[in-house]
Amino acid sequence: MSTPLNIDQLIKVKSVALHRVRIPLIEPFRISNGTVVEKDSILIEVTTSDGTTGWGEASPMSGSFYSSDTPDSSWCALSEKLIPWLLEFCNVAPHQFYERLREIPGDAFAKAGLDGALWDAYVVEQRVSLCEALGIGRRSVPSGVAIGIYHTVDELLDRIRRYVLQGYRRVKIKIEPGWDIDIVAAVREQFPNVRLMVDANAAYTIADKPIFRELDRYGLTMIEQPFAADAFEEAGELQRNLKTALCADESADSLVSLQRLIKHNAARVINIKVQRVGGLSEALLMLDAARAADLECWVGTMPELGVASAQGLHLAMHSGFSFPTDIEASSRWYVDDVIDPLIEIDESGFIHVPSGVGSGFNVSREKVEKYSVARELFIA
* Distance in angstroms (rounded) separating the CA atoms of residues 259 and 331: 36
CB of 300 to Mg ion, least distance (A): 6
* Distance in angstroms (rounded) separating the CA atoms of residues 90 and 5: 22
Q: Are 30 and 43 in contact (CB under 8 A)?
A: no
* Four-CA torsion 6, 114, 138, 53, nearest 10 degrees: -70
DSSP 53: E
72: helix, strand or coil: helix
CB of 117 to Mg ion, least distance (A): 25
Stretch that binds Mg ion, among 179-187, 243-251, 275-283, 368-376 (CB under 5 A): 243-251
* Nearer of residues 115 and 224 to Mg ion, judged by Cβ: 224
* Nearer of residues 153 and 229 to Mg ion, judged by Cβ: 229
Of residues 161-190, which lie at the interface with Mg ion (CB under 5 A)?
A: none
* Distance in angstroms (rounded) separating the CA atoms of residues 198 and 291: 23
* Nearer of residues 160 and 272 to Mg ion, judged by Cβ: 272
Backbone angles phi, psi at 347, to 5 degrees: -70, -15
* Distance in angstroms (rounded) separating the CA atoms of residues 369 and 171: 34
CB of 33 to Mg ion, least distance (A): 11
Instruction: Let me know if 174 is a catalytic residue.
Output: yes
* Distance in angstroms (rounded) separating the CA atoms of residues 334 and 338: 10
Exactly one of 39, 111, 172, 174 is catalytic; which is it? 174
Of residues 194-213, which lie at the interface with Mg ion (CB under 5 A)?
A: 199
* Nearer of residues 187 and 200 to Mg ion, judged by Cβ: 200
* Nearer of residues 232 and 371 to Mg ion, judged by Cβ: 232
* Nearer of residues 249 and 282 to Mg ion, judged by Cβ: 249
Exactly one of 39, 111, 172, 273 is catalytic; which is it? 273
CB of 82 to Mg ion, least distance (A): 26
The answer to whether residue 326 forms part of the interface with Mg ion (CB under 5 A) is: no
Closest C-alpha to 83, from 128, 18, 33, 131: 18
* Distance in angstroms (rounded) separating the CA atoms of residues 205 and 183: 19
- Residues in a beta bridge with 55: 45
* Nearer of residues 19 and 195 to Mg ion, judged by Cβ: 195
DSSP of 102-114? TTS-S-HHHHHHH
CB of 224 to Mg ion, least distance (A): 5
Instruction: Let me know if 14 is a catalytic residue.
Output: no
CB of 265 to Mg ion, least distance (A): 20
- Of positions 132, 249, 282, 328, contacts Mg ion by CB under 5 A: 249
Q: How many residues bind Mg ion (CB under 5 A)?
A: 3
Stretch that binds Mg ion, among 19-27, 94-102, 173-181, 223-231 (CB under 5 A): 223-231
| Nearest-CB residue for Mg ion | 249
Angle formed by the axes of helices 280-292 and 306-316, to 10°? 30
CB of 271 to Mg ion, least distance (A): 6
Stretch that binds Mg ion, among 36-44, 110-118, 136-144, 191-199 (CB under 5 A): 191-199
Pairing of the two strands 372-379 and 196-199: unpaired
Site string for Mg ion, 93-122 (x = CB under 5 A): ------------------------------
Report CA torsion sign: 77, 78, 79, 85: positive
Query: Quick count: other Cβ atoms within 10 Å of Cβ 377?
Result: 11
Residues carrying an active site annotation: 174, 273
Residues that bind Mg ion (CB under 5 A): 199, 224, 249
